[in-house]
Every structure is written in C-alpha cells, then in structure tokens.
C-alpha cells in the first residue's frame, strides 16, 4: 500500500451561472424585512454611512490613518467589530425572552416577599417576647 503511487485528485468545475440565471435569482429574491426598530437604526445610521463614504478615500493617507487610530481608541474599534459579528434576535425571540425575564422576576420577587414576611414574624416573636 505504501508503495502505490498517489492518485491525482480530480477537480470538479462548477457550472458558470449565466446572466439570465443571475437575473432570475435577483428577481426571486425577497427584500430584507425590517421591523420598526430596524428601520429606525437604518435611518439613524444613514448620515454616518454617507460621511464614511465621503471620508473613505482619505484613509489611504498614512497621516489620516494615524490620527484616526489616536482619536478612535482600540477598545471602540474592537467593540464595533464584535457588534458586527453578533446575530441579533428576531422580534419574536426578543419578545419571548423578555416575557421569560418578567415572569422569572415576578416569581422571584414573590418568593423573596414570602421569606421576608416569615423572617419578620419569626424575629418579632423571638426578640419581642
């Protein structure tokens, strides 16, 4: 087995997508649905994106990059990179998680109130007698 020569791997070539297929795929593509919050963030961030596009050509000058690194600390750059990698929950998921937190908080509050009431009665009987 070790003496056998290695067989060359066969390469498979993917068929090239035609212009018509690309156009049909683009026509069938549904637009990205945005909720109210998504639209709000879209319109709030629009001026910043436009400014970024206007200032992008300046980034090729080393002086501008150095000034940008000084004015925009590493922490904020890394935070922004991390935020771009986050998979944000849908509205339905966020609503379910919010409901779970509210229910858990209510139950926990009731339990703390019961324990507090019981300890209050116990200490009043023990210490005041």
- Kindly state whether residues 78 and 103 are assigned to the same domain: no
- Kindly state whether residues 56 and 99 are assigned to the same domain: no
Question: What's residue 109's pLDDT?
Answer: 98
Domain that holds residue 83: 36-88
Q: Is residue 58 part of a domain?
A: yes
Q: Is residue 4 part of a domain?
A: no
- Kindly state whether residues 48 and 83 are assigned to the same domain: yes
Question: What pTM, to 2 d.p., does this model score?
Answer: 0.39
- Kindly state whether residues 47 and 82 are assigned to the same domain: yes
Average pLDDT of the chain, as a whole number = 81
Cα torsion at 11, 17, 18, 20 (round to 10°)?
160
Question: What's residue 111's pLDDT?
Answer: 98
- Kindly state whether residues 83 and 94 are assigned to the same domain: no
- As for how many domains the chain has, the answer is 2
Which residue matches tokens 């290695």?
6
| Over residues 77-90, mean pLDDT | 85
Which residue did the predictor score with more confidence, 22 or 67? 22
Question: What's residue 2's pLDDT?
Answer: 56
Question: What's residue 110's pLDDT?
Answer: 98
């Amino acid at each position: 087995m070790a003496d056998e020569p290695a067989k060359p791997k066969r390469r498979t070539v993917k068929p090239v997508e035609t212009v018509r297929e690309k156009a049909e795929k683009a026509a069938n593509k549904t637009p990205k649905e945005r909720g109210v919050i998504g639209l709000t963030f879209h319109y709030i961030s629009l001026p910043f994106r436009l400014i970024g596009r206007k200032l992008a050509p300046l980034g090729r000058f080393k002086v501008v990059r150095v000034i940008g690194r000084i004015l925009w600390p590493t922490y904020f750059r890394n935070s922004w990179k991390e935020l771009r990698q986050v998979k944000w929950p849908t509205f339905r998921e966020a609503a379910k998680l919010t409901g779970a937190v509210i229910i858990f908080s209510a139950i926990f509050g009731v339990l703390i109130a019961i324990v507090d009431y019981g300890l209050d009665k116990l200490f009043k009987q023990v210490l005041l007698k």
